[in-house]
Structure 1
Amino acid sequence: MSLQDNGGKQAVFFERIMGLPVFDTHTHLVGDRLGARDFWEIAHYFWFYRELQAGGYPDGAEKLPEEERIAAFLNAYRSTRSTLMNWTFTSIMRELYGIGIKDEDSIREAITAVRHSAAEEGWAQETADRMNIRRFVVNHPEHAAFQGMRHPAVWIPRIDGALGRWVDRIVQSEEPARTFHAVRDEINRQLDGYKDAGCPGIMTTLPRYESSANIRREIGSASGRDDIMMELLHLICAAADRNGLLVQLFLGVERSWCGTAFPANDTERILKLAALFETYRCPFELVLASELNNLDAVQAAWNFPNVHVGGMWWFNFRASTYRDSMQYRLEALPASKSSVIVSDARCMEWSYGKILLVKKLAAEFLWERVTSGWIDEETALHTAEEWFYASAVKRYGISAGGA
């Protein structure tokens, strides 16, 4: 086959990957304000903002007069032109608005363009359709009614706030054992309610923990926070199992060491939870923010039929970690055991941009696997369809008619 023929086949393959449907499995989208309300809401998205600050963008830039703000942004934008989020922001501006950011006038043009798109009634659905994003997950019920969209968001309740309060109550109680049993009843009522409301599952983050799920402890006056939390996780998983609910575990971000969130690799993080996966039949989905646990999550999914691997979260959202994680998953797991998309987006434009990036990375990775002879094109496309969409549809129990 000539290089020209191979290039043509690659272009067709990439086009097919880009057209596949997507399930965005973790967002911060709010149903009545899905699109960015102004340019700066896109430009100041947390991940890009961090990179801009590293490139010299000042704290409190939003307080600057607009002309000074534009100049400061342009300098930081140019300084960060090699970074992943700069690429994504640049793609958002180019693909959605037809604007290349090159000078202050182009930024003013973008400010006007986003102001216009914010006033367009169908902009959010149009933006999602351009990347074939069909469904989204949110964690708060008041965010799930997606105005102007064909489908509401899937609501997976976030319980980490409640989990922390339950631990505090037991630690501070004069009768920890009695309070623990009261919390057990509250957990059962809460998860029963989620089942009745039609939720497919629950989501929680977890801090670093020293206790392990395979060592059971009676809760009493000498119990530490980690032991209490682990016993509460047993109660939560038992209630999820009884109600047929998914348990999403978001792992790898620490907030107790300093005033900002930080990634924390822990070689025993998933190992200490393995007894939960073995004891309860409910499905688990592991979503990681720490690079060194990506292989651990795949090993857990390989060992336990009810464990699945979710998308890349927080500090794990990097091209390098995506490529490694996709290799781990491809060679060890059926594609139906993985979802690869967690946009963490706060506006539809960033959901579009980050999913564009993931699709590009997946297309490059899978095409390399095809051309090196490990898989054929049909397997590659099936893998991408499962990773982007189909596995999440099954995992979250979404009917074909509602997807």
Structure 2
Amino acid sequence: MLNQKEFIEEIMGFDVLDTHTHLVGQQLSAQDFWEIAHYFWLNREMQAAGYPDHAMDLPEEERIEVFLAAYKASRNTLMNWVFTNIFKNLYGIEIRDAQSIREADAAVRASNARPGWAQEVADKLSVRAFVTNMPDHAKCNHMNRDAILIPRIDGRLFDWTKQIHQADNREQAYDEVKKTIGELIATFKGWGCPGIMTTLPAYDAKANETYVIKEATRDQLMMLLLHTICETLEQNNMFLQLFLGVERSWCDTAIPVNDPLRIAKLSGLFARHRIQFELVVASEINNLDVVQAAWNYPNVHVGGMWWFNFRASTYRDIMQYRMEALPGMKSSLIVSDARNIEWCYGKILLIKKLMGEFLYNQIEAGWIDYETAIQLAKDWLYDSAAQRYGFNPHLS
């Protein structure tokens, strides 16, 4: 039996499919140090340590000074660990003073100028594919293959709902939107997309209820449209990826909202439609809810950790939930949410480390054996998503 360090090293070599990114295929790598340093999640922790939100407006020397102060003050935080290991592992640089930041900036600029850099970084953790939601981002320069395109429709869903809600003749407006949905999804199918993605705001409607179009509230109309979308996806043999738990209506920024009925309200979709669903949540209380949904419905799968759920503590909890209740092929664990390949590397490094620690502890405790742990890791990192997305790297 391997020791823990050896076991984690083995996990580090397993293939990965990153199921949600903001990577742009034409510019995958960071162009300078600040593109890495100002990644949203690190920035939140840095600002909590005193880093100004207008840092890019400061003269560079002053910006470096305040960055170092906040970086040192936030050394205990998770994204600080990721950031530190990005520069340590990819560039061999320890961020400690102004000179090291200048060296880091020069190193990032040099790597960005190398055509093979993004593929080289992906290969370090065996990232075989990643997903983008934007059609014009899917074509990748200097990579072994293009991104998997899963188009997002949340903006359209909001507009369709508003269009019907405000129409003088709602039934006619609904028919027009239904036709538009059919044409749009047929277009995505023609592009080779395996499914579509949408976020959902808070909704005061239930998927198992029957609503009359001319009397329905805005939320009820949205639920009716979700049924139409699912019916159309079923006709095209495509899946629906739902991103849930982030709401923007409470204040001037996105926040996680723990709604105990969020998943229950959607269960009528899972029961009625013979399509695959992938549930990705950003609210901690819903982590067990999505596992229960996947346990109850064979066509429901659970995805990676999004937004406010990307914490070591929540990863440990959800791996326990999923290991106990679900076959490995019902669960994907990787959502980097990265905007450059360097952060994709750093966040996947963290997930693999957490996974290795968790599975090794389960082996030591006697709950699973080594072979089961290895298969579970492969399912969580790659196989589950690859099967759901119909991804075959040899055909890409």
TM-score, scaled to structure 2: 0.99
Q: In the TM superposition, what whole-angstrom CA distance separates every residue of 1:63-88 from its partner, at most 9, and x where no partner exists? A: 11110000000000001100000000
Mapping of residues 1-400 of structure 1, within 5 Å: 9-220=3-214, 222-400=215-393
Identity, % of aligned pairs? 58
How many residues in Structure 1 have an aligned counterpart in Structure 2?
396
CA distance in 1, matches of 2:94, 2:370: 34
- The CA deviation at 1:14 is 1.2
**Structure 2 counterpart of 1:45, which letter?**
Y
Q: In the TM superposition, what whole-angstrom CA distance separates every residue of 1:84-142 from its partner, at most 9, and x where no partner exists? A: 00000000010000011111211111111111111111100000001110100000111
CA distance in 2, matches of 1:237, 1:144: 24
- Contact in 1 for aligned 2:195/2:240 (Cα 8 Å): yes
- The CA deviation at 1:402 is 3.5
CA distance in 2, matches of 1:38, 1:208: 38
- Contact in 2 for aligned 1:151/1:402 (Cα 8 Å): no
SS at match of 1:291: coil
**Structure 2 counterpart of 1:376, which letter?**
D
CA distance in 2, matches of 1:90, 1:216: 53
SS at match of 1:37: coil
SS at match of 1:202: strand
In structure 2, list runs of 5 or more residues that go unmatched. none
SS at match of 1:285: strand
In structure 1, list runs of 5 or more residues that go unmatched. 1-5
CA distance in 1, matches of 2:353, 2:46: 23
- Contact in 1 for aligned 2:87/2:104 (Cα 8 Å): yes
CA distance in 2, matches of 1:313, 1:77: 24
Q: In the TM superposition, what whole-angstrom CA distance separates every residue of 1:36-64 from its partner, at most 9, and x where no partner exists? A: 00000000000001111000001210011
**Structure 1 counterpart of 2:140, which letter?**
F
- List 4+ stretches of structure 1 deviating above 2 A: 8-12
- Contact in 1 for aligned 2:4/2:357 (Cα 8 Å): no
- The CA deviation at 1:401 is 1.5
Q: In the TM superposition, what whole-angstrom CA distance separates every residue of 1:126-183 from its partner, at most 9, and x where no partner exists? A: 0000111010000011100110000100000100010000011011111112101111
**Structure 1 counterpart of 2:316, which letter?**
R
CA distance in 2, matches of 1:47, 1:18: 23
SS at match of 2:45: helix
**Structure 2 counterpart of 1:283, which letter?**
Q
**Structure 1 counterpart of 2:77, which letter?**
T
TM-score, scaled to structure 1: 0.97
